[in-house]
Structure 1
C-alpha cells in the first residue's frame, strides 16, 4: 500500500545490493525515522567518447545522447549504469580509449537530490513495509523538524585505555552510563560491571529513545572513535543507526580529520561548527570556549586531569558523574547560545549538502552550480592533473604608522561576491569566451599578459579579466546565482532573520575560495586571479580618488581603506558619508565606461575610530600590516596586536590594554609602567605569566628546531615516562603551558607552584616590545622610564 509523508533527510547512502544500485534516504518524519528507497535507480556520468566507441548493447548500461556539451564545446554522451561496479568498469573502459569522463565522482544519492532541487525538507510517497518505503518518489518539501538532540561525552582511563563512562544530556534528561564493580547511589546513573555490558546497554538506549543529532567536543575524533575501537575489540556490532544499522567511523590518514556515518542520525562537532561559522577564540578547548561564552567551565581541567578523573571514579563517584555530565551540559549550552544547529540546517536548506557535512564549501558550490549548468546545456569539466597555480592574495598596502584622531574605515560590502556579479566572473563564461577567442580550453596555465584589458568595449563583448581571461556575459551563471543570494540576504536582514543572513554571507564569501582551490573541478587560475586582482584595482582606484578629494589613506586591507580627513571633529561623519557617495558614483561611471557594466560594488562608511594607532614593523620604520588598535563607540579594539593573540601571556595582554587606555586618553603612561613592572618583579602578577601554546604535531616530529612550548612538553612526557605514566603529548594538537625561570623554560600544570621566576625575561620579551611600540611618539622608552625609577629609589 502506498503512503505519503513529509520529513527531513537525515542521511543518504548508495551501495550495490545483489548486483544492483540501491539509493537510500533516512528521513525524519513527525513521529519516526524511516528508510526511503526511490524507484528506478541508476548511476550516471558523462563522456566525450563518440557513440560508435561503445558496443551496440551493454547489459544494464545505457549510453545516451543527452544534448549537453563540455567546456571545449564538444558534444557529450550520458552513461547510465545499474550498479556502482558497472559504472567503475565503464569509466575504466572509456579512459582506456583516452577519452574524458565528466562528473563521474558525483554520488548517485547526491545527483538524485540535486536534479530534483531537494535540499533538506522533502515530500515522498512509496510502498510502506514497516519502517521502509520502496518504489518511492521524492520532491522538495517544507517540513520543519523538531530535533531530538543528545550532547554526548565519554570518560576514559588513560592508564588502562578503557572506557569509564558515557554521559548524555538532552533537552529533558541527564544520564550517565558508568563501569563500576558496585552499584552506587548516584542520581540518573546506570552502573555496569564491564565495558561490554555498558556498550550493549548504550546501543539499546539509542534504539529505544532514537536521537536525531549527536553533538559534542571533538566528538568524532575522540568519543565515537574510542567507542568504535572498544566495540571492535569486544566483538560488538556498533548498531547505533536509527534502524539498528552499524555506524562507520573513519579518518583521513595523516590529516587528523574524522568522519562518522550513522544511518538516520547526524553527528555535529562543536569545534568544527565554530570554525565553519566564523567564530574565533584564542583556544577552542571546551573549557576555554565555555569560559568565554558562558562564564562557566569544566569541573576539572589541566594537563593532569586524567589522574583526578581516575581517582574520582574510584573514590568519589558522585563527583565523577557530575564532571562527565558537566562537559555534556557545556556543549549543549554553547550550541544553544550560538544556534549552531539552526545555522547548520540553514546551510543545508540553502545548498543541499548533507546535514552531517559541516564543511563542504566545494560541495555547496557544486550543488548550486551543477543543476544550473545542466539546464544551460553544459556538463562540468573533467578533473585535470596539473600543478596548482595560486592566485594573488587580497589587497594589502603598507601602512602609515602613527597615533591618529578620527580614522574612518570604508569597507566594500561583500567585495568578492560583488566583483563576481559585476564583472561576470564565472567558469562557463570564461570557457565560452576562450573558445570564441580560439584558445585551447584544456590549457589552464595561460601565459597571456598579466594585466586586465581596459580598452572600451560594447555591451556584447566579453568582459576582460586577468591573466588573459575574458568572460562571456551571455552565458554566465554565477553572477545570477550571487544576485539571488544577495537578494535573499537583504530579505533576511529586513525580516530580522540573522541566522539566514549570516548563512548566506558564508556561502557567498566561499565562492572565491572554491574557484581558487584545485580540489574543485571548476578551479582555474584565471578565475580566482580575476577576482583578487580586480579587488586590488578597485582599492587602488578608490584610494586615488579619495586622495584627489583631499583625504589621506593610511592603510588598506582586502576590502577596506583607513582614511583621515582634515576637518573639525563635528564634521567627520558628514564628510565621511559624502566621500563614500562620491566613490560609489565614480565606481558606477567607471564600470560603465570600462565594459558597459552595471556596478554592484558598494563602499560603506563602516567605522569611525576616534583614536587610532598603527604600529611599525618591530625594529623597523616601515608601517606594519594587519596590526592596529583604536577606540570606536567608546570601546577599544585590537587587531593582530599582542592583546588579541593567543601566544602572548595574560600579563602582556593586560599590560597592552591598560597602557593604550592611557595613551588614547592622552594620559602620561610613565607612572603606570613603573608600577606595573614593580608589581611584576615582586611576584604580584605571577598568575599572569603563563604562556599557553598548541603543539602542531607530536613532539617526536620536532627535530631541527625545538620551540619553548615543545621543550616544555618534552619535559612533562620525560617525567611521566620515568614514573611509568601515560605520555600526554605524543599525539600532538594539545596545548602546553609553561613559564620562564632563571634556569629557562619550565612546564606549568594545574596546581603547580610558581617559583624562581625570571622577571627580566618578561620585562624584555613581553613588556618592552609592547611599550616601545608606542612610547617613541612621546619621546619615551621603557629603558628611560625604568632608569629614572631606579634613580629615584
Structure 2
C-alpha cells in the first residue's frame, strides 16, 4: 500500500495528474449512495493496480425534473412540508412534448424520496426520479467500468489485515485500460436444517476447506483441510480468511440465494456481525418485487452467480445444475454417488468420512472455477460492464444498459427522458415475421440469414427515440410550411418514414451511431478471435429492439418497435419475391432467415456457389432499392449461412398439408473435409430445430430413435428393419434405461389444479410415499423429477412399483416420431409394424 499512500494520503492529487499517473486509475467495483449529517455521499469502491480504494463524492445531489409551469406549485408544497431543495434551476432541457423543465436538486436522499412521493401525491409529474444518484453520476461522465480519479483529503478504512485509502471530495472521469480482479469460488456444505458442516474455497492461489470436527491425521492429498471446533469458530475463521486474502469477486452456484443467504442466517443466529465488506460492514440485502430472487450488496466486493451469468451470456442447458453444466462443458461430474439424493450422502460423510466430504466440497468449488475459466465468464462480465455501465453482478439489465448509454447523449441534445407510460400505447407492434412453410423432404436447401437484422434496420432507417420526436416535429413543420405555400420548406427530406405514421430524423439521433460503434467493435473482436467480447456485443445490440418494445422501458413507443419489426416483415417478403423471380422456391422464412430449395440435381460445391450468388444479388438489390427509395445507405447484409444437402420440414400433427414453424431437420455435408479415400463418407452433421431430439420433455429413446431414423432417410437407407428392431427391443425391456422422462417442476405441486401433467402426478405420488415412510417431501419446492410411465400411471423412478407400459411408449414416443417423416418416403409406422404381425400370423 505504500505507493497508494504516497499518492493519495500525503498530498492532494492534482487534476493535471489525471491520465498520467497509473495510481489514479481504477475499475469501479461497487457503488452506492447514503446520507450523512452533512449531506449525501456517493461511495465508489475501485480496484487499482496498487489495491482497493474508496472514493467519497460529496458535492452531488439527488435530482428530478418537473414542468416549469408547475414550479411555483411544487416549491410551495415542498416548503409547507419543510422539504426545500438545495437548488432550484430552470433548465434549457425539455420533455419529448417540448415542454421546459426545472431541476430540483436535493442534498439528502431522504429528502429526495419524501419530496418525490409528495409531488406525485399532488399530481405533479416528476421526470427521471427513478435514477439513483450514483448511477447518474457515472453515466453523465460516461464512466462504465474504468475511471481516472482525484481526491483532496484522505483517511483509511481498516480491517484486521488491510488498510484501504479513502478519498474525499473525489472526482472521476472515463478512462481506458484494464485492471485484473481477484476471484475466489465458494461453496457451503450443511445439514438439511441449515447447520454448517464446511466451507470450501478455491482459486488459482488457494485450495481450502474449513471443516467442523476434531483434527484428523491428514496426508498430502488432503492437507487443504482446516479443522474448526464448532460453527461459531467456522464463521469467525471465514471472516478472517476473507480479510486476509481480500478477494474482489466471490463466485459460486446459486451462491446468493443459497450460500450467502445461509451465511447471513447462521451469522445472525450466533450474533456474529457478518462483516464481510471492505469497510467491515455487513451485506445489504434486497428482494426483487414479485420474485424469490435475492440480491446483495457488499462494500468493495462483488458476488457473481454462475447460473445467472451463463444465462446472461445466452448459454442454454437442459439443466443448469452444477453436475449437468460441468458435464456438458468440462466432461466432469460432481464427486457424489447419487446426485439427486446427495444430501443424505453429505450428512453421512460428515459423521463418518469428513475427508470425503471435504473432497466433495472442494471439487464443487473447483468445478465452478473451471466453468468460469472455460467460458471466460469473468471477462464477459467485465466487458459487459465496459459496454453498458452495468455492475458485474447485475442480472439482465438490458433496460438499464440502454438508459446508461442513451440518457447522457439525450441530455446533451437538450431533452430529458420520458416516464414509463408516456409513449404512444394504442398500437400493437408485431413480432418477427414467420412464413408459412412448405412441408416436404428436400434435397439442396440453402439458408440465407440477415446479419443482425434488427440492429441493421435501426442503423439503416435511423430508428431512435429522440429521432422519432425530431422527425415528427420536422414533419409537422413541413405541413405548416406547405399550408402557407412557403418556398423554403425547412423540413423537406429531413426525415425517413417508419410505420404507423412514424418519421425519423436523418440527422438528430443517437441509437444508430451507438450500434455503429458496437458493430465496429464486434468486427474487431471477431478478427482478434475474442469470443467473450464478440458475444457480449452481440447480446447488447440484439437487446435494443427488445428494450424499445418493452413496456418496462421509459422509451417504449410501439412506433419505434413497430418500425423495426414491420420493416423486417417487409424485408423478408421482398427478399422472398426476388428469389422466386429467379426461379427458386422459398419454402420457409423466420424473422431474419430465408430457406431456399434450389432443386435436386446440384452437387455440394455447385449449391454453395448458388448460395454465394444469391447473397451477392440480394445485397446489391437492397443497396439499390434503399438508395433509390429513401436516399440513404443500406446497412442490411444477408449472408449465405448453410447448405442442407437433405432437409425435412414436417407437417403439423393431424394436418397433412400444413407445414410447421420453427421445427425442421437437415443434413449438412462439409465437402472441404472430404477424405481422399472414395469409400469414406464426407464430414457431416445433423441439425435439429424444435424437434424431439432437442426437447427436454422427450425420452432418450425417442431422441436416439429420431436421430438414427432421420440419418437413414437422409442417406436413402432402408428403415423398416430399424423401426421393427427398436419396437421389439422396447417390448423386450432391453432399452428400459432410455424410457425415463426428466422434467422440471416449475410451481408448487398444489398449484397444479386443472390438467395435471404426468410428472406432477408422479411427484405427488412420490411425496405421499415419502411422508408415509417418515421421510421428507422431495418435490414440493420445485426442482426436477425423473419418472416413467407404468401400467398404473406415471411413477417416480425411485418409487416405481408397476411394470412399464411399453405399448404407451411405442405409441407416444416411437410412432409419433416415425409418422412425422415416414409418409415422405411412402411408409408409415403402422404399415411397418403390421407387416411384422402379418408374418407372425401367417
Query: Quick check: 1:369 aligned with 2:406?
Result: yes
Q: Partner residue of 1:595?
A: 630
Q: Partner residue of 2:644?
A: 609
Asked whether the equivalents of residues 381 and 522 of structure 1 are also in contact (C-alpha less than 8 Å), the reply is yes
Asked whether the equivalents of residues 74 and 124 of structure 2 are also in contact (C-alpha less than 8 Å), the reply is no
Asked whether the equivalents of residues 420 and 551 of structure 2 are also in contact (C-alpha less than 8 Å), the reply is no
Which piece of structure 1 moves more, 125-134 or 58-67?
Answer: 58-67
The whole-number CA distance in structure 1 between the counterparts of 2:365 and 2:119 is 52
The whole-number CA distance in structure 2 between the counterparts of 1:184 and 1:192 is 14
The whole-number CA distance in structure 1 between the counterparts of 2:797 and 2:422 is 49
The whole-number CA distance in structure 1 between the counterparts of 2:536 and 2:329 is 21
Q: Partner residue of 1:129?
A: 155
Q: Partner residue of 2:673?
A: none
Q: Partner residue of 2:388?
A: 351
Deviation string 1:485-519 (CA, Å, 9 cap, x unpaired) is 11222222233322222211111100000011111
Distance 1:675 1:204, change over 3 A: same
Deviation string 1:290-326 (CA, Å, 9 cap, x unpaired) is 1111111112244322111111111111111111111
TM-score, with structure 2 as normaliser: 0.88
Give 5+ residue unaligned stretches, structure 2: 1-10, 14-22, 157-163, 478-489, 671-683
The residue matched to 1:2 in structure 2 has which SS? coil
The whole-number CA distance in structure 2 between the counterparts of 1:716 and 1:265 is 43
How far residue 184 of structure 1 moved from its aligned partner, in angstroms, is 6.1
Asked whether the equivalents of residues 419 and 554 of structure 2 are also in contact (C-alpha less than 8 Å), the reply is yes
TM-score, with structure 1 as normaliser: 0.93
Q: Partner residue of 1:548?
A: 581
Asked whether the equivalents of residues 592 and 598 of structure 1 are also in contact (C-alpha less than 8 Å), the reply is yes
How far residue 426 of structure 1 moved from its aligned partner, in angstroms, is 0.9
The whole-number CA distance in structure 2 between the counterparts of 1:426 and 1:8 is 31
Distance 1:754 1:685, change over 3 A: farther
The whole-number CA distance in structure 2 between the counterparts of 1:163 and 1:251 is 24
How far residue 756 of structure 1 moved from its aligned partner, in angstroms, is 1.9
Q: Partner residue of 1:281?
A: 317
Q: Partner residue of 2:307?
A: 271
How far residue 239 of structure 1 moved from its aligned partner, in angstroms, is 1.2
How far residue 243 of structure 1 moved from its aligned partner, in angstroms, is 2.6
Asked whether the equivalents of residues 694 and 735 of structure 1 are also in contact (C-alpha less than 8 Å), the reply is yes
The whole-number CA distance in structure 2 between the counterparts of 1:435 and 1:89 is 36
Distance 1:458 1:662, change over 3 A: farther
Asked whether the equivalents of residues 40 and 58 of structure 2 are also in contact (C-alpha less than 8 Å), the reply is no
Asked whether the equivalents of residues 39 and 58 of structure 2 are also in contact (C-alpha less than 8 Å), the reply is no
Alignment of 1:181-330 (within 5 A): 185=218, 186-300=222-336, 301-330=338-367
How far residue 96 of structure 1 moved from its aligned partner, in angstroms, is 5.2
Deviation string 1:217-238 (CA, Å, 9 cap, x unpaired) is 1111111112112222332221
Q: Partner residue of 1:448?
A: none
Q: Partner residue of 1:392?
A: 430
The residue matched to 2:170 in structure 1 has which SS? strand
The residue matched to 1:774 in structure 2 has which SS? helix
The residue matched to 1:24 in structure 2 has which SS? strand
Asked whether the equivalents of residues 737 and 747 of structure 1 are also in contact (C-alpha less than 8 Å), the reply is yes
Q: Partner residue of 1:179?
A: 212
Which of residues 659, 664, 689 in structure 1 aligns to 2:714?
Answer: 664
Distance 1:720 1:2, change over 3 A: farther
Q: Partner residue of 1:337?
A: 374
The residue matched to 1:23 in structure 2 has which SS? strand
Asked whether the equivalents of residues 623 and 633 of structure 2 are also in contact (C-alpha less than 8 Å), the reply is yes
How far residue 366 of structure 1 moved from its aligned partner, in angstroms, is 0.7
How far residue 678 of structure 1 moved from its aligned partner, in angstroms, is 1.9
Which of residues 426, 439, 443 in structure 1 aligns to 2:464?
Answer: 426
Give 5+ residue unaligned stretches, structure 1: 440-456
Distance 1:587 1:178, change over 3 A: same
Distance 1:726 1:52, change over 3 A: same
Q: Partner residue of 1:682?
A: 732
Asked whether the equivalents of residues 475 and 495 of structure 2 are also in contact (C-alpha less than 8 Å), the reply is no
Query: Quick check: 1:33 aligned with 2:33?
Result: no
The structure showing larger relative contact order (alpha-carbon pairs under 8 Å, at least 6 residues apart) is 1
The whole-number CA distance in structure 2 between the counterparts of 1:390 and 1:317 is 61
Q: Partner residue of 2:681?
A: none
Q: Partner residue of 1:86?
A: 111
Q: Partner residue of 2:175?
A: 141
The whole-number CA distance in structure 1 between the counterparts of 2:275 and 2:774 is 37
Which piece of structure 1 moves more, 774-783 or 137-146?
Answer: 137-146
Q: Partner residue of 1:13?
A: 32
How far residue 39 of structure 1 moved from its aligned partner, in angstroms, is 4.0
Which of residues 64, 70, 75 in structure 1 aligns to 2:95?
Answer: 70
Distance 1:142 1:480, change over 3 A: closer
The whole-number CA distance in structure 2 between the counterparts of 1:253 and 1:739 is 37
How far residue 93 of structure 1 moved from its aligned partner, in angstroms, is 4.8
How far residue 542 of structure 1 moved from its aligned partner, in angstroms, is 0.4
How far residue 365 of structure 1 moved from its aligned partner, in angstroms, is 0.6
Query: Quick check: 1:529 aligned with 2:547?
Result: no
The residue matched to 2:441 in structure 1 has which SS? strand
Asked whether the equivalents of residues 693 and 706 of structure 2 are also in contact (C-alpha less than 8 Å), the reply is yes
The whole-number CA distance in structure 2 between the counterparts of 1:677 and 1:458 is 73
Q: Partner residue of 1:745?
A: 794
Query: Quick check: 1:471 aligned with 2:490?
Result: no
The whole-number CA distance in structure 2 between the counterparts of 1:428 and 1:193 is 64
How far residue 200 of structure 1 moved from its aligned partner, in angstroms, is 1.8
Alignment of 1:375-524 (within 5 A): 375-384=412-421, 391-436=429-474, 460-524=493-557
Q: Partner residue of 1:779?
A: 826
Query: Quick check: 1:575 aligned with 2:604?
Result: no
How far residue 24 of structure 1 moved from its aligned partner, in angstroms, is 0.2
The whole-number CA distance in structure 2 between the counterparts of 1:268 and 1:251 is 16
How far residue 658 of structure 1 moved from its aligned partner, in angstroms, is 1.1
Which of residues 184, 187, 205 in structure 2 aligns to 1:150?
Answer: 184
Q: Partner residue of 1:442?
A: none
Distance 1:742 1:94, change over 3 A: closer
Asked whether the equivalents of residues 181 and 248 of structure 2 are also in contact (C-alpha less than 8 Å), the reply is yes
Asked whether the equivalents of residues 24 and 149 of structure 2 are also in contact (C-alpha less than 8 Å), the reply is yes
The whole-number CA distance in structure 1 between the counterparts of 2:229 and 2:766 is 34
Asked whether the equivalents of residues 459 and 597 of structure 1 are also in contact (C-alpha less than 8 Å), the reply is no
How far residue 45 of structure 1 moved from its aligned partner, in angstroms, is 2.2
Deviation string 1:416-449 (CA, Å, 9 cap, x unpaired) is 001111111111121233345569xxxxxxxxxx
What is the aligned length?
Answer: 772
Q: Partner residue of 1:565?
A: 598
Asked whether the equivalents of residues 458 and 596 of structure 1 are also in contact (C-alpha less than 8 Å), the reply is no
Asked whether the equivalents of residues 695 and 710 of structure 1 are also in contact (C-alpha less than 8 Å), the reply is yes
Q: Partner residue of 1:452?
A: none
How far residue 781 of structure 1 moved from its aligned partner, in angstroms, is 1.4
The whole-number CA distance in structure 2 between the counterparts of 1:719 and 1:215 is 38
Distance 1:765 1:718, change over 3 A: same
The whole-number CA distance in structure 1 between the counterparts of 2:703 and 2:368 is 28
The whole-number CA distance in structure 2 between the counterparts of 1:80 and 1:685 is 72
